[in-house]
Amino acid sequence: MKIVVLTGAGISAESGVPTFRDADGLWEGHRVEDVATPEAYEARPSAVHRFYDARRTALSAVEPNPAHHALARLEEHLGDDLLVVTQNIDDLHERAGSRRVVHMHGELRSALCRGCRSRMPWQADLGDFPPCPRCGVSELRPDVVWFGEIPYEMDRILAAVGESDLFVSIGTSGAVYPAAGFVQVALLNGARTLELNLQPSEGTTLFHEHRHGPAGVLVPEWVASLVTA
Ligand code: BJW
């Protein structure tokens, strides 16, 4: 059985990483749609760098939770038949042991050159506008996908979703496309669809099955049922 799992901020919530659209969400009073844009970066680059530098630093203080570990365990059983597509820019899937992970909205521990478009692993702050070590010309920005930009590895993702027998969405509000549309691609190709989320997502009616509760409980239960079956 081929499985594609789409994860969102909700899977990292129990690790202490804030979500975007919940009451205690990340942007506190700002709509994420107004600030996660290239235009916001052009207007206030220092403020945007401060925000991402703080989130990168905070990553060192959080750990993967039982939901991340369960997905890593599932990969041990399914190997190449499991692909985790995450909208998250944290590295908690990898730290739990998952290897087949696509970061469609980029990664906190990566930088992108605004000039030569090189992507490179990056641990330090970007707020002092370091030049690109590859071209030396332009400044680096967070390697994340803002509104209006094209998410990474879309061809690989759509091929995997199209070939999947089961599509599982975990901890995402279903508010942001193209990720919110993957369930429809899966349905059109005959896959079963399962939602594991704290509450019904915006696309909840598109799923054959829903389980609502914390990912740290639901995901290990779901993985255990698959592995024992
Ligand atoms: C728990 C839990 C627990 C809590 N256990 N659950 C009009 C109509 C349709 C589309 C568009 C439109 N106008 C514009 C668009 C396109 C636009 C878009 O979707 N806009 C919407 C506002 C409508 N999309 C884009 O621009 C994208 N690019 C694009 O479309 O390019 C064109 C193209 C695509 C493909 C091929 C060719 C061309 C880019 C989108 C980029 C999104 N970027 C961000 C920021 C990334 C960097 C950063 O992290 O700062 O990505 S925005 C933000 O939202 C972030 C997230 O990945 C993304 C999704 O959020 P997520 O993960 O769902 O979090 P929440 O907070 O919304 O939800 C958390 C859920 O977890 C909730 O349901 C909770 O209940 C639950 N939860 N605790 C389980 N313990």
Q: For 12-25, what is each residue's pLDDT tens digit? A: 999 999 898 876 66
Average pLDDT, rounded, for the chain: 94
* All residues at 6 or more sequence positions from 185 whose CB lies less than 8 Å from its CB, including other chains: 158, 161, 162
Q: How many Å lie between the centroid of ligand 1 and the Cα of residue 201?
A: 12
The pair phi, psi for residue 205, each rounded to 5°, is -70, -15
Looking at the whole model, is its pTM more than 0.75? yes
Q: How far apart are CA 163 and CA 145, in angstroms?
A: 25
Strand order in the sheet with 140-144: 119-121, 106-113, 140-144
pLDDT at residue 35 tops 90: no
1, HSE (Cβ side, Cα atoms, 13 Å): 16
Q: Measuring from atom 16 of ligand 1, which residue has the nearest CA?
A: 177
How far does Cα 19 stand from its chain's mean position? Answer: 11
pLDDT at residue 180 tops 70: yes
The CA-based angle 117-122-128, given to 5 degrees, is: 85
Token output for 120:
């490179």
How far does Cα 166 stand from its chain's mean position? Answer: 19
How far does Cα 227 stand from its chain's mean position? Answer: 24
Contact between residue 54 and residue 62 where contact means Cβ atoms under 8 Å apart: no
Work out the average pLDDT over 150-178. 98
By C-alpha distance, which of 195, 201, 158, 154 is closest to 176? 201
Q: How many Å lie between the centroid of ligand 1 and the Cα of residue 192?
A: 22
| Phi and psi based region of residue 120 (left: phi greater than 0; alpha: psi -120 to 50; beta: remaining) | beta
154, HSE (Cβ side, Cα atoms, 13 Å): 9
Q: Measuring from atom 73 of ligand 1, which residue has the nearest CA?
A: 173
Q: How many Å lie between the centroid of ligand 1 and the Cα of residue 174?
A: 7
How confident is the model over 22-34, as pLDDT tens digits?
766 656 566 777 7
Q: Which of 40-54, 59-73, 80-94, 163-177 has the lowest mean pLDDT?
A: 40-54
pLDDT at residue 132 tops 70: yes
Instruction: Spot the catalytic one: 68, 105, 208, 212.
Output: 105
Q: How far apart are CA 158 and CA 81, in angstroms?
A: 15
**Residue for token pair 């779901």:** 222
103 is catalytic: no
pLDDT of residue 28: 57
